[in-house]
Amino acid sequence: MQIYEMQPLNLPPFAIKVKENDGVKLIFDPQRQKFVTLTPEEWVRQHFVNYLITVKQYPKDLIANEVSIQLHNTAKRCDTVVYDHFLKPLMIVEYKAPTVTITAEVFKQIARYNSALRVQFLAISNGLEHYCCKMDYDKMNYSFLEEIPEYALLLGDNQEKR
């Protein structure tokens, strides 16, 4: 297996499985249990999901990549969705390539996706910068958090709503 040169990220390194098939670079996605095309966004996704699992203690079985949703009669895909133990969505994560600046437009995209799922947390990462906000549906606003919360904090907030 070859090592592929990708941009270093502001996320912990880990053992990555990569290969090449017919000239296409692939990376193994443990969540989908298959090799997928190695793009800059996928590079960020694999590192960020690993970070959620190993550092923030998110259960790997409650994280799904490329989740299909219906939005105004159009099929869309959320990059990653994190669920609680009852499979209620808690967080949507959107990824961009490290060369893409995270702007208000990116937040508008994830907010549109959230209109279908109504999660408590939205996160965005380009591998270098990571942002997370907590939704307040009672006040119809959101607040940015200083860091990505640990899974237990997501559950804590979700349990209060039950």
Answer whether residue 102 shows pLDDT above 90.
yes
The phi and psi torsions of 13 (rounded to 5 degrees) equal -75, 160
With vertex at residue 64, the alpha carbon angle to CA 61 and CA 68, rounded to the nearest 5 degrees, is: 145
Domain 18-160 in CATH 3.40.190.80? no
Number of CB atoms found within 10 A of residue 10's CB: 13
According to the model, what pLDDT value does residue 43 have? 96
pLDDT digits (tens, 9 = 90+) for 58-86: 999 999 999 988 878 888 899 999 999 99
Residues 122/133, Cβ–Cβ less than 8 Å: yes
What residue spans define the domains of the chain?
A: 18-160
Query: Would you say residue 18 has pLDDT above 60?
Result: yes
pLDDT at 3 over 70: no
CA atoms within 13 A on the CB side of 116: 18
- Percent of the chain beyond pLDDT 70? 93
Determine the Cα–Cα distance for residues 55 and 70; give it in Å rounded to an integer: 32
Q: What is the pLDDT of residue 5?
A: 66
